[in-house]
Amino acid sequence: MKSFGEIRDSNLERDIFLNRVILAIVAIILMVCLVIIRLIYLQVYNHQHYTTLSTENYIKVRPVAPPRGVIYSADGVMLAGNRPSFNLVGVPEKIKDNNALVYELSQILDINESKQNQIIKTLNTATRFTAVPLMTDLSEEQVALFSVNSHKFTGVAVEAGLSRFYPLGSDTAHLLGYVSRISNNDKIRLQDSNYAATQYIGKTGVERKRELLLHGKVGSKTIEINAEGRLLRVVDREPPVPGEDLRLTIDSKLQKKAASLLRDLDNLSGSIVALDVRTGGVLAIVSHPSYDPNAFANGISPELYTTWMNSPFRPLFDRSIQGQYPPGSTIKPLLALVALENGLSASQTVKCNGWFSLPSASHRYRCWEKEGHGRVNLVEAIERSCDVFFYSLSNDIGIKMIHTVFDRFGLGKATGIDLPNEEKGLVPSPEWKKKIKKLPWYPGETVITGIGQGFLLATPLQLAKLAATLANRGKSVEPFIIQTEQLALSDKQQSYDISANKNLKGNDRYWKVVNDGMVAVVHSSKGTARGIGYTSKTKIAGKTGTSQVFSIGQDEELEDEDIPSHLRDHALFVAYAPPENPRIALAVVIEHGGSGSATAAPIARAILDQYFTRKVDAEQSSLSATY
């Protein structure tokens, strides 16, 4: 069959083609216009924004931590300062593999497994764009080894800085506290941009209490870095403002002497607190055993921290303001004042046969002198520490009056010292026992409270303050450590006068009776601390104390060697000197030290000898310079 060809319309095809070309050109023009508009938007309207983003790829502004303030003693000795150090820091966002990094570092810097884990933890928890310390206080050899191999480590560098240093080490550990790495909880608590570059803050002691004064004001530096995050140059710098230096009331030599005396004890724990009775300034405050705060300043190892935490001697525990002990016979002078205030004659006597019983009761409360002291008056009762006299006295006075006067003299409440975490002790009362123990108050509890036993508790600092109050004949000064001219007006120390309370003001004879009794404790032939009076370089008014840790049976007698060391009596001694014009008051508490006269009193005498020997030498030097 014959086939016929398809009829074509060339005009129509041309029109279709032209239309398609026009549409394509229009689309191209529209797309070009959109690109041009976008470019104009990016290059003109958002020029500053994208220029800034581009610049931040190689220009960074980093905060600079301020140098921490230096802490000095009253005699100008540096107690806490800063020394140059080199730290290895890393920026987590620049580090691709934390585990690989730590492995490579350990190959050249000899990092133990514990430290490796610590570095990994730091990198995993740190803010990604902030430089964090990986290792602190590098040795010169470590700095050299890393510098040679630095090209292998992206985002890691050695930076020069300052690390905290405590020249007296453990002698001032509980007083000053320590600085340690800032935690997430610290950051939440502070919520302050002033801490943007701070890696270490005060954790305890003066370092914590006056953190804001010591810290200073953060600075900044603008730096240029390369693609690997390595510093090329510093473009600009705003220097930080250093923290304020602090001057304490502490006598550095007396502090070291007190620490040395406690270290010389044979595995015993304790505390010494010495106050200037005229101002309340703390001259020495020591808790033993202690620890080296420098270990915290450079990042303490978990092993060492665990050892300290688990030690039965609790070296991290500050006994001077947190240890609460039955004060024993050290409160007898205070009870004597209560009795005098309520009409007791200083010449009134009580016969001591070695025991005391309440009316219509068979239980015997024993005196430490088994054979008894015979008939004694108030001064003799203080001098010889006759328990029977004060058993009888406390029973006559009653617990309510005892509680009232003890409270007036500052027992059972914090002293207000400028240190954190001070305990307040305990002055018991029938109301307290009913509320806390859900039990009634018994007459026998009043009897033992009168000799500083039972529920009554006090810190060494409270006992030193009590001694200062007795020295001042009723004027109580608030203990403080930081010299007040550096603090805000609201923080300045104020003194108040217990003598203003009823019946005490103007009764100098009451204070004289108590003072005579305390002098007799040390300087009479029958005083419980006469052993230190023979060799003392100055006259001392003091009171021994021995507080029981556990009770023994009515007729049971035990020798010291039969009692486990952790159950032996605490040894205490409070004193002030000289009695006529007091300048220093102190308290010594030795845990499980046995007798206050044998253990605590000699330590107090050594402290007083050190203090007055230096005072005499200083006065003689001053006179020589005058002439």
Q: Annotated active-site positions, please? A: 329
Across-strand partners of 163? 83
Angle of helix 140-149 relative to helix 98-109, nearest 10 degrees? 120
Whose CA is closest to 481, among 614, 292, 284, 270? 284
DSSP label of 489 = G
590 C-beta neighbours (distance < 10 Å), count:
26
| Angstrom distance (rounded) from CA 212 to CA 216 | 7
The tokens of 428 are what? 């018991």
Whose CA is closest to 166, among 63, 82, 50, 232? 82
DSSP strand pairing (132-135 vs 78-90): antiparallel
253 in Cβ contact with 610 (< 8 Å)? yes
HEC string of 178-238 equals: CEEECCHHHHHHHCCHHHCCCCEEECCHHHHHCHHHHHCECEEEEEEECCCCCEEEEEEEE
The tokens of 335 are what? 């009870």
- What is the identity of the amino acid at 568? R
| Angstrom distance (rounded) from CA 539 to CA 526 | 16
| Angstrom distance (rounded) from CA 197 to CA 64 | 6
577 C-beta neighbours (distance < 10 Å), count:
29
573 in Cβ contact with 544 (< 8 Å)? yes
SS3 428: coil
| Angstrom distance (rounded) from CA 604 to CA 518 | 14
Torsion of CA 179, 183, 187, 188, to 10 degrees: -130
250 in Cβ contact with 282 (< 8 Å)? yes
Q: How many CA atoms lie within 13 A of 148 on its CB side?
A: 7
601 in Cβ contact with 540 (< 8 Å)? no
Rounded to the nearest 5°, which phi and psi values hold at 368?
-65, -25
Peptide bond into 240 cis (omega under 30): no
SS3 105: helix
For 77-115, letters b (16+ CB in 10 Å) and e give: bbbbbbeebbbbbbbbebbeebeebbeebeeebebeeeb
HEC string of 119-132 equals: HHHHHHHCCCCCCE
| Angstrom distance (rounded) from CA 81 to CA 79 | 7
Q: How many CA atoms lie within 13 A of 617 on its CB side?
A: 6
